[in-house]
Amino acid sequence: MTQAAEALYRQAGAQFAPALARLARSVERDPEKARDLEQEMHCALWISLARFDGRCALKTWVYRVAHNVAADHVSRAVRGPQRVALDVIETLPSAGNVEAETAEALVLAQVGELIRRLPPVDMQVIVLWLEGESAADIADITGLSAGAVATRVHRIKALIAGHFQSEPAYGVTA
């Protein structure tokens, strides 16, 4: 690897490592597997930077590589045996409002699970949107048009909101 590619990797790592970690955690529920996926992303990025020619922004390149690795990971998982998701309590709730914190954690877990079930392109779009990326940047990364990105974001948000509106309130029976 050239010194220029090594410098690009250091720059990309400094700028985008937290986002890659969040992407890995959004794709993979198991913390160990998420760390493995994050390492796969970094390895793929390291290798790919030898081909980086500057025709797109470094940010676009990094996200493309990371999202391709994540999509491959999801595809491998789908082809593998079906797993049953178990909710694991990672930490005890604080002494604050335990009911509100539990409800919020449950909603976030449900949203995460809904995102994991989306087709890979839709998952990429919504994760990038949640990262605060613009429709234009998401379009560059995914290869979709900015209009298609905006439409997908709107539809995914409506799908997620609809999931919560159609469910009866916890503990309420009809």
Mean pLDDT of each 10-residue bin along the chain, 174 residues long: 82 91 88 92 91 89 91 75 47 58 82 87 89 90 92 92 69 48
pTM, two decimals, is: 0.54
The whole-number pLDDT of residue 29 equals 84
What is the CB neighbour count within 10 angstroms for residue 100?
Answer: 10
The whole-number pLDDT of residue 167 equals 53
Structural domains of the chain, ranges and CATH numbers in brackets: 1-83 (1.10.1740.10), 90-174 (1.10.10.10)
The whole-number pLDDT of residue 174 equals 44
Helix, strand, coil percentages (3-state) for the chain, rounded to 5, are 70, 0, 30
The whole-number pLDDT of residue 96 equals 62
Q: What is the pLDDT of residues 138-157, one digit of tens each?
A: 998 888 999 999 999 999 99
With 0-12 / 13-18 / 19 or more C-beta atoms within 10 angstroms meaning exposed / middle / buried, residue 149 is buried
